Structure 1
Amino acid sequence: MKVFFRSIRAEISFVIVITGILIGTGVGFFIYRSTINKAIDSARSRIETTMAFVKASRDYVRSTLRPKVDELLAAGCTSQDFILEAQSSSFFTASIFTRVNQEIPDMQLRQVAVKPLNPKDKPNETELWIIAYLKSKNLKEFEGITLHRGKEYFIKAFSVIPKKGCLRCHGKVEDMPVAVRNLYNPKEDPNWPVGQVNGAVLVYVPFDKVMEQARIDGIVNGGLVGGVFILMSGIILLILNFRVFKPIDALRDRAEKISKGEIEQPIPYQSENEIGKLAKAIERMRVSLKKVMDMIG
């Protein structure tokens, strides 16, 4: 068997350093994850409040405002056949959120869809992946930390499933209200699939500073704990060096001299601990050996 250490002192020192590194790494990772989890819980709470507003706004437009405006349009109150500001749940919600965002600037609302009328609502690569994921897994929501425009964000997304009434504006171009056609000038039929995930409402919360702080906290606190452990272990090792290792080295040297015939000098022992008892045993061996040598001589 290969021997890696030639002394107990080196072996213990190695174990202390490795243990300190492992403890520091473990503590650092725990603090890193705890910091992120706390930030996620905080962001999730804020997003859920925001999404409650978004859902309520979209539902209000669909169930109350849009039907009322339809009645007014049918009564001939205006020559327009569609009033975007009042009948589009997405436009209404985005407009309100823009004003709210002035008070809460660290959140971003995105309402995206496959083949949207408004080019601004075209999903980016990350959003396309989220929509595809929601659709393939038949999920209503998704959350996670992702990279967006070079920065880290915590994203929570809710699936958008078109209903039959959505086809008025998102079906065929020829069936769209004139006001919608004139505003967006669509080149092809959107033909949103009814009953299937075709988009998502997403809220972005900046997370790059949180991630950076989590990494710093993890490294600093992990290094501190690991360093304290190594320091305390070093103090213990220093005590062991004076109380154990050096006395053992001295006894080893005396035992080697005795084995070479140097038996005149007595071995001093002052303690009653294990090392003191070992010194007494070696001293008895020296005395016995000296008596034998004297008898022979």
Structure 2
Amino acid sequence: MLKDWKIATKLNILLVFISAIIVVLSSLFLAILLRHNSEEVIAEKALVLIETMSSIRNYTSTQVNPKLASRLETDPEFLPQTVPAYSAREVFEDFRNQGDYRDFFYKEATLNPTNTRDKADDFETQVIKKFRENPNLEQDSGFRSFAGGDVFYIARPLSVSKESCLRCHSTPQAAPKSQLATYGRENGFGWKLNEIVGVKMISVPANRILQNAQKLQSSVTSILVVCLLIAIVLINAFMKITVTKPLTKMAQLAQRISTGDLSQEFKHPFNDEMGLLAASLNRMKVSLEIAMDMLTSDSE
């Protein structure tokens, strides 16, 4: 059956096969490239958020805490608004009400926090230890697994950079009375100046990254498929004009010559391979015509 196929059919099959290979290989390459790109985009957003939370922490520590510090000794309950971590988390929750950040999560995971909700889990503990063992390490990122799926995270070390922090975290005897009344004397003490006590961690579900990558991949792949289809159409049109159509006409001319019709010749306007073939066919016709005339003369 293959020997009965026309050149155009064989060419189209070859083009489709090549196009399919290009699409498959491009999709695999794009999947890797676009996932990496999506990670970078989300990482940039996360880093901006971490820097924002750091600024909020600093503002709370330098502007809010001094104004409310005296009340920590007199109020019956501890004022969480004086704690930088509380301010950062509250502001971040407001960020999450916006569409672009609803899938982001922020936690100041601490080894020995005053509020147990900030207690580092096993994975976060290992990240904290990594920062402690590598003082020059400024950032850590990657994926971690939960029951609901993988999560992409970015973490930065959280250290005791100001002596004012030690008021609440050095010893129970130095802590404000309202803090002891609210949280007790067991947690959040023993911190030291410049010690890494936790991490600021922002995480986002991995499917968010995959969805972004898949959307871009689908768009790019669709554009690639359309471009390849246009290329196939253009190649077919070019082959029809420059190869198939001239070959068909030369085949028809050769058929007439074989039956003795020497009245026509094939004219090709280009000096390409088809032009050389046409010239050869015309020379063959002329030679055959001369030979026929010579035979006719000899017979007379």
Query: What TM-score comes out, normalization by structure 2 length?
Result: 0.63
CA contact (8 A) 2:31 2:217 kept: yes
Q: How does 1:134-153 map to 2 (within 5 A)?
A: 134-139=131-136, 141-142=138-139, 144=141, 146-147=143-144, 149=146, 150=148
Q: How does 1:43-62 map to 2 (within 5 A)?
A: 43-60=46-63
Tell me the residue number matched to 1:3: none
Deviations 1:17-76 (A, max 9, x none): 5456666777787776666655554454344333311232134467x358x539x85xxx
Does 2:61 match 1:101? no
CA contact (8 A) 1:65 1:87 kept: no
Cα distance change, pair 108–214 in 1 and its aligned pair in 2 (3 A): same
Cα distance change, pair 216–172 in 1 and its aligned pair in 2 (3 A): same
Distance 1:37 1:99 in 2: 24
Cα distance change, pair 204–34 in 1 and its aligned pair in 2 (3 A): closer
User: For 2:79, which of 78, 85, 92 is the aligned residue?
Assistant: 85
Cα distance change, pair 48–141 in 1 and its aligned pair in 2 (3 A): same
Tell me the residue number matched to 2:236: 238
CA contact (8 A) 2:30 2:217 kept: yes
Structure 2 unpaired stretches of 5+: 1-5
CA contact (8 A) 1:115 1:190 kept: yes
* Partner AA of 2:83 in structure 1: S
Cα distance change, pair 201–33 in 1 and its aligned pair in 2 (3 A): closer
Cα distance change, pair 96–36 in 1 and its aligned pair in 2 (3 A): closer
Distance 2:20 2:293 in 1: 51
Query: What TM-score comes out, normalization by structure 1 length?
Result: 0.64
Deviation at 1:218, TM superposition (A): 2.5
CA contact (8 A) 1:160 1:201 kept: yes
Does 2:124 match 1:130? no
Distance 2:277 2:16 in 1: 24
CA contact (8 A) 1:144 1:156 kept: yes
Tell me the residue number matched to 1:201: 200
Larger RCO: Structure 1 or Structure 2 (Cα < 8 Å, ≥ 6 residues apart)? Answer: 1
Deviations 1:96-145 (A, max 9, x none): 74377357533543222223343322213442343233334324743646
* Percentage identity across paired residues of the two chains: 17
User: For 1:115, which of 112, 116, 137 is the aligned residue?
Assistant: 112
Cα distance change, pair 160–47 in 1 and its aligned pair in 2 (3 A): closer
Please tell me the root mean square deviation across aligned C-alpha atoms, in Å. Answer: 5.0
* Partner AA of 1:69 in structure 2: S
Q: How does 1:165-244 map to 2 (within 5 A)?
A: 170=169, 180=180, 183-184=183-184, 186=186, 191-192=190-191, 194-204=193-203, 208-209=207-208, 211-219=210-218, 221-244=219-242
Deviation at 1:233, TM superposition (A): 0.8
Deviation at 1:278, TM superposition (A): 1.9
CA contact (8 A) 1:20 1:230 kept: no
Q: How does 1:23-42 map to 2 (within 5 A)?
A: 37-38=40-41, 40-42=43-45
Q: Say which SS state the counterpart of residue 186 (structure 2) adopts.
A: coil
* Partner AA of 2:228 in structure 1: I
Distance 1:186 1:199 in 2: 18
Cα distance change, pair 52–285 in 1 and its aligned pair in 2 (3 A): same
Cα distance change, pair 256–28 in 1 and its aligned pair in 2 (3 A): farther
Q: How does 1:218-297 map to 2 (within 5 A)?
A: 218-219=217-218, 221-247=219-245, 250=248, 262=258, 264=260, 268-273=265-270, 274=272, 275-288=274-287, 291=290
